[in-house]
A and B are shown apart, each in its own frame.
Chain A
Amino acid sequence: QMQLVQSGAEVKRPGTSVRVSCQTSGYIFSAYWMHWLRQAPGQGPEWMGCISPNTGETVYAQKFKDWVTLTRDPSISTGWMELTRLRSHDTAVYYCARDKSGSEGRIFDLWGRGTLVTVSS
């Protein structure tokens, strides 16, 4: 069964960082790019960036370029998203998603369940 299992909910103080993990199973990790998106309450999804499972090449949305870092470890079929300098408006559900195309095709066919990150003082 193909799945993406994300780490649990986090509560963070403003100015700190959060790291969310996404462990994959049921498919060949190295064959599909991994994307990260977030969804604030009542809003549509917002794309943050993606990472090649083979080379570690990353592509970031300009908005997130200076404060998001995507990494991966093919040996354990897992990717991570780290967001720094958190502010209250970063409160959202963060998703990892698989790219259907096998490259940077930007079609998301498999999603994690999401990780709620709450930023509050």
Chain B
Amino acid sequence: DIQMTQSPSSLSAAVGDRVTITCRASQSISTYLNWYQQKPGKAPKLLIYDASTLYTGVPSRFSGSGSGIDFTLTISSLRPEDFATYYCQQSDSNPVTFGQGTKLEIK
């Protein structure tokens, strides 16, 4: 199975900050990497797929980059509604695997 490792596991930031979350795959996955946002008690929401393609309706302050084994999710200017947990997920091969999550908290 492909292991996905996110860092940091938690992050404190203020409204307006720029934040970056990283995700590393245990083997090359090309650009088969997706990012989700999850709020407490809710299902995950797709933000970015194929490493850098913004999903429909997702604000442009979210962006993704990377290929191979290293990927990043960047939020350019945090808004209050962005405080949540973020997961990366590889869609290269079965079984699909997720990172352990990055909890973004308000500073």
A residues touching B (Cβ–Cβ < 8 Å)? 35, 43-47, 59, 61-63, 95, 97, 100, 105-109, 111-114
Q: Is residue B59 within 8 Å, beta carbon to beta carbon, of the partner chain?
A: no
Q: Chain B residues with Cβ under 8 A from A35's Cβ?
A: 96
In the complex, the answer to whether A47 meets B96 with C-beta atoms within 8 Å is: yes
Given contacts A47-B96, A114-B43, contact A107 B34 (CB under 8 A): yes
Q: Residues 53-82 of chain B: 1 if any A CB is under 8 Å from the residue's CB, otherwise 0? A: 001000000000000000000000000000
In the complex, the answer to whether B95 meets A44 with C-beta atoms within 8 Å is: no
In the complex, the answer to whether B44 meets A106 with C-beta atoms within 8 Å is: no
Q: Chain B residues with Cβ under 8 A from A109's Cβ?
A: 46, 49, 55
Q: How far is the CA of A60 from the CA of B91 in the complex (A)?
A: 14
Given contacts A100-B49, A107-B49, A109-B55, contact A45 B44 (CB under 8 A): yes
B residues touching A (Cβ–Cβ < 8 Å)? 32, 34, 36, 42-46, 49-50, 55, 87, 89, 91, 94-101
Q: Chain A residues with Cβ under 8 A from B50's Cβ?
A: 107
Q: Chain B residues with Cβ under 8 A from A63's Cβ?
A: 95
- Chain A CB within 10 A, most for which of B45, B49, B87, B101: B49
Can you show 19 pairs from A to B with CB atoms below 8 A apart?
A43-B100, A44-B87, A44-B99, A45-B98, A47-B96, A47-B97, A47-B98, A61-B94, A61-B95, A100-B49, A106-B94, A107-B49, A108-B46, A108-B89, A109-B46, A111-B44, A111-B45, A112-B43, A113-B42
